[in-house]
Structure 1
């Protein structure tokens, strides 16, 4: 075997459930996960300090337009973490936003190792909104965080795609938050399949009930380790209010958690030098990265993901196996439609006996911002090292079914050198796909292509419509502020409903017939 073959040698996770007033600071969370990964690999503090490469997953509060700047955190998490663990990496980066990021970083680090650009790399991330928002909401002090977090450091080098996930036009109409956009995909998928509203709610409940069961079996790390029935997940109540139709709260990813995870990637030569036993080695057999047409309104439709399909296909081609050889699966699961579309694009059934998660998924394991997939990889490392020779599949999804990263893993040694395909190859294929013409100023007769009704605690307050005008051009719109109309949009199928669209100021308003 080529001594530069990349291998994962250890992984660590941490979930904090204690008093918010005593919660670890952001980079302390990173440090805890890194130390646990070093302990898992058996390299200890000395090995941790010896890293030559460090990649930190971007914090959610560093997303463009974030209003959470009152929460103290380092201006350069890689630099601060390096000083905390006594490391001097020659290459360190901080990522842009996206739930695909951990798998993307592992793919990148594996490539750097294979090219001889790195020998011992650490990738780590965390989320701390659980305690941070409680501290802020209760007026608790952040002085202990400020004593740790160095906010005077120079800005770090960034990796990943920095583009915002939506246009200003989309944002004006509410297409600027996951809880508003994923329901558009869900309703479009249901309409395509000609499933009734009630039957589709039951399908979502069954799907995510199986995820909650896995979370209940993961009490050490899962944020909500409680098995829930399908009915509990979809029935609207005071404790399970509607967020964006058709998703009650319990079907939404939960970002307000305190969780961290880390993974070591190194060369075979370095693993041997460090004395890491081969029983801890996990190989990345296949990987791929690509993005769908970037903005939601540009998509071919709202019930598919060419990027999911093609990154899966390429990762399996690289690994030299098919889906039938995979034993463990973790599909990105921020909302039911992410799983439904991902499964369809990969050729999986929603009731596949292998299961579609090994952690419990983002609504139940926890959705730590951009770092959930690091927990998937950490869990997969354990699964596969305990089941030598078996294969595992992990998918990561960023923005709005936009950025996709895929990994195929096994303890089985690869029979060929690691060679990651340039993501630009797949990207050119996806970017060339045809898609509808967009209009920002539709006028006249129109038809709903997909929709959602967005709720506050008090009830529904806005409907978002993606429609087509008489010329087939796609547009975004809202509806009149009519409580009866909003309520009715949740009791009968709206996809295909006709109406009239007009402009009022900088908004488009669609009034159904």
Structure 2
């Protein structure tokens, strides 16, 4: 029995986790997100071994995109037969499950509630197949009059939208090329690191019974472009990006240590929430100071390391968010971990599957099982947007020595590290120095165009196109043995008014 001097009714513990994966043989029989949510929450209660849902005082539902409901949190509460005082359906963000778990734990620590649930679900696979097949699904009617959440293009500059660098698949490569150049890697070395890292994720996914894809892949299988594994945006192939076409739900059930013990939850099922941190970047990625590190990510990871004596190696298990390779590559360096890092207990957004915003709910489930199975300290790190929103959370099999802090934000630390932000311009001439770049591909594997983020001679920032027919500049960008980051090109204005970047 874990010893603690803290009041047991103010110590939050995770007592149950539940997951469901739906692979319907008949599309029309596919379960809707609301049903997946309900089943995941009920499975979490069953996992706890206690009857706790009747006292649910806090319910957080992760934003989902595969189906639209009016007030899904209220629909779920009605299905569960509960009326929680805190009943919330939040905005888009891959970090949100970690934030909700953290906030639920803080609510318990404040004495505002004694039982809390966090859950999320998507049924994108079924929804996509039904739409393609013209099949009407017997689900809760689609709430077409409910506004879709704001994403991507809404927050970006018109030139970013015009050049196609406003979606995750085309923005994250800008971090990929900037970080690897900053670390002194050739593109070949950077791609090899990504392949090894993603291969590790795939192996874990192959052993996770809740994964969508259960095949361990070798690094070269992941990074080599083929007809089935096409390049999408350099250097990312299909097997290097998140796979949202899944049907799955996950839930985490929390209560106080006092209630858990009173309910007879076995001690070896209890996982304590030690604390965590959050910070974010501006949503418009073009107003960041640089792209080779994330100050909010650094501040969050340093704060969670402070909970374990400042040493990232203290964690027995970690989950580093894995929408694209640059994210865990950056994170493991900040944590002081080597290239042989075990970055996941779940399997990653490519291989386990990416139920959009709720992957980290499943990661929390996997982490709880891992810690119950013998680990002592676990780190969950989630992020959302374009390396925008960050949240880290420390879980442990052992009781905390200090009360859970109610102060989560490390935004001040993140902002303090920020350098000068260059002015963004759409007119320039002379020479431009490549700050970062990507090449965007069509579905048939042909180049659509390249995009260079550059600094002008006045040190302003601009986006420039590289046309598909500019073979010399594309060859310069795609050289595997020398990064183009930091090199100079000629800046010209095309007939449509867009800047173009050309090698000498």
* CA distances 1:123-174 after superposition (whole Å, capped 9, x unpaired): 10012211111111121212x11xx357499999x9x999965344432332
1:210 aligns with 2:200: yes
Whole-angstrom distance in 1 between the partners of 2:14 and 2:378: 13
- Corresponding residue to 2:490 among 457, 479, 499: 499
Whole-angstrom distance in 2 between the partners of 1:79 and 1:154: 15
Matches within 5 A, 1:16-165: 16-19=22-25, 20-44=27-51, 47-60=52-65, 72-142=67-137, 144-145=138-139, 148-149=140-141, 151=143
1:245 aligns with 2:234: yes
Aligned to 1:6: 12
| Structure 1 residues 434 and 164: alpha-carbon distance in aligned structure 2, compared to 1, 3 A threshold | farther
Aligned to 2:161: 171
Aligned to 2:466: 479
Contact 1:306 1:345 in 2 (8 A): no
- Corresponding residue to 1:343 among 316, 327, 332: 332
| Structure 1 residues 381 and 165: alpha-carbon distance in aligned structure 2, compared to 1, 3 A threshold | farther
- Output the aligned Cα RMSD: 2.5
| Structure 1 residues 150 and 298: alpha-carbon distance in aligned structure 2, compared to 1, 3 A threshold | closer
Whole-angstrom distance in 1 between the partners of 2:462 and 2:142: 45
Aligned to 2:433: 447
SS of 2:398's equivalent in the other structure is: coil
SS of 1:215's equivalent in the other structure is: helix
1:288 aligns with 2:288: no
Question: Unaligned 5+ residue runs, structure 2?
Answer: 1-5
| Structure 1 residues 270 and 162: alpha-carbon distance in aligned structure 2, compared to 1, 3 A threshold | farther
* CA distances 1:389-437 after superposition (whole Å, capped 9, x unpaired): x1111100101111110011111011221113241xx213323422332
Whole-angstrom distance in 1 between the partners of 2:333 and 2:75: 42
Contact 2:313 2:337 in 1 (8 A): no
SS of 1:233's equivalent in the other structure is: helix
Whole-angstrom distance in 2 between the partners of 1:106 and 1:473: 41
Q: TM-score, normalised by structure 1?
A: 0.90
Moved more, 87-96 or 271-280: 271-280
Moved more, 299-308 or 481-490: 481-490
Aligned to 1:268: 257
Contact 2:282 2:388 in 1 (8 A): yes
Shift of 1:368: 1.1
Contact 1:287 1:407 in 2 (8 A): yes
Contact 2:302 2:310 in 1 (8 A): no
SS of 1:141's equivalent in the other structure is: coil
SS of 2:252's equivalent in the other structure is: strand
Contact 1:460 1:483 in 2 (8 A): no
Whole-angstrom distance in 2 between the partners of 1:162 and 1:115: 36
| Structure 1 residues 168 and 264: alpha-carbon distance in aligned structure 2, compared to 1, 3 A threshold | farther
Aligned to 2:3: none
- Corresponding residue to 1:231 among 220, 236, 240: 220
Whole-angstrom distance in 2 between the partners of 1:271 and 1:253: 36
SS of 1:479's equivalent in the other structure is: strand
Whole-angstrom distance in 1 between the partners of 2:380 and 2:296: 14
Aligned to 2:448: 461
Q: TM-score, normalised by structure 2?
A: 0.91
* CA distances 1:278-307 after superposition (whole Å, capped 9, x unpaired): 221111112001113442222232121121
Question: Unaligned 5+ residue runs, structure 1?
Answer: 62-71
Aligned to 1:69: none
SS of 2:10's equivalent in the other structure is: coil
Shift of 1:382: 0.8
Whole-angstrom distance in 2 between the partners of 1:478 and 1:509: 5
